[in-house]
Amino acid sequence: MRSSMRFVGLAVLVLVAIRSTPAHAGLDCNEKIDLAALHDFASGKAGDDAVRYEQYCLYGQREHTKQIVADCEKILARGPWDNCLVLAASLGVATVGKRDVFEWIAKQDRRPWFSSPGTPEFPIQLFASFGDPRAVPLIVATWKEWIPKSEVYEHKHANMAEWASWRMSAASALGALGGADEQAFLEEQTRATVDTHVRDACNDAAAKIAKRLAATPH
C-alpha cells in the first residue's frame, strides 16, 4: 500500500478479516457509534485516532451518504484524509468538497502485488463500487500489462494466490462495468488460465455482461 495512505496499522487485520464485501466483515461495528465518531472528528471534538475503523464500518453504507459526505467535506477542508475518499468512492459520490473521487481512485496504485485485494482502499473494488465505466480501460490495461509479468511468480504459491485474487476482483469489476469488448476479454481469460477460481470469476463476469447487453434495447 502507498505510504501516503493512513491504513498501515490495519493492513494485516484487513487481509485476514476482509476478503469479501461488506468491507466491515470481521470487525465489531456499531453504525450509530461509528457515525458519531466520524462526526466528532469532523467537528474537531476528537482526533483521527478515534476513527481508525470508520472507513471499514461505514464502507458502502449508502443510507447514510448525506451525513458521511457532510462530515468528510469538513474533514477534507482541514487537510488530506484518504479515508474519506475511500468512503466517498464506496458510496458512489463523484466529489467531496473540491476533490474529484474518480480522479483520486485512478491515481492509486492498482497493480497486483502493489495493492491489496479485499481491503476497502483496493482501487479495483473502489472502481466497482463507484460505478463509473471510465474505470474499464484502466482495469483491462493493468490486467494485460501484468499477464507476462506474473510469469516470474509462477512457482511461488503465495504470489500466485495474490495474482488470482487480483484477477477475480478485476473480473467482478468488469462484470459490473464492462461491455462487449470486456466480455470477449473475460472469455479469453477463462481459456488462458488454469486457476479454476479465476476461470469461474471470469465466466460469471462475462455472463453478467451478456445478460446486461441482452436486456439493453438496440
Residues 151 and 193 in one domain: yes
Weakest-pLDDT range from 65-79, 106-120, 160-174, 177-191: 106-120
**Per-residue pLDDT tens for 199-208?**
999 999 999 9
**Per-residue pLDDT tens for 86-96?**
999 999 999 99
Residues 35 and 100 in one domain: yes
Residues 50 and 140 in one domain: no
Provide the H-helix boundaries in the chain.
11-17, 31-42, 54-57, 65-78, 82-91, 101-107, 123-130, 135-149, 157-177, 180-192, 196-215
pLDDT (mean) for 57-65: 95
Q: Is 96 a member of any domain?
A: yes
Beta carbons of 74 and 41 less than 8 angstroms apart: no
Residues 172 and 96 in one domain: no
- Residue 173 C-alpha cell reads as 469489476
Q: Is 114 a member of any domain?
A: no
Q: Return the closest-CA partner of residue 179 out of 134, 121, 141.
A: 134
Residues 143 and 206 in one domain: yes
Residues 41 and 84 in one domain: yes
pLDDT over 90 percentage in the chain: 72
Integer Cα distance of 110 and 114 in angstroms = 7
Q: Is 116 a member of any domain?
A: no
Q: Is 38 a member of any domain?
A: yes
Q: Is 124 a member of any domain?
A: no
> How many structural domains comprise the chain?
2
Per-residue pLDDT band for 23 (boundaries 50, 70, 90) equals low
pLDDT of res. 20: 38
Beta carbons of 32 and 64 less than 8 angstroms apart: no
**Matching residue, cell 460469471:** 204
Residues 99 and 177 in one domain: no
- Show Cβ contacts of residue 155 under 8 Å, excluding neighbours closer than 6 positions: none
Residues 15 and 102 in one domain: yes
pLDDT of res. 216: 86
Q: Give the predicted TM-score (pTM) of the model.
A: 0.84
Per-residue pLDDT band for 118 (boundaries 50, 70, 90) equals confident
Residues 141 and 90 in one domain: no
Per the structure, the complete domain to which residue 193 belongs is given by: 133-215
Q: Which of 42, 72, 107 is the last residue of a domain?
A: 107
Q: Is 80 a member of any domain?
A: yes
pLDDT (mean) for 127-136: 97
Q: Which of 65, 89, 107 is the last residue of a domain?
A: 107
- Residue 155 C-alpha cell reads as 512457482
Name the average pLDDT for the chain. Answer: 87
Residues 29 and 102 in one domain: yes
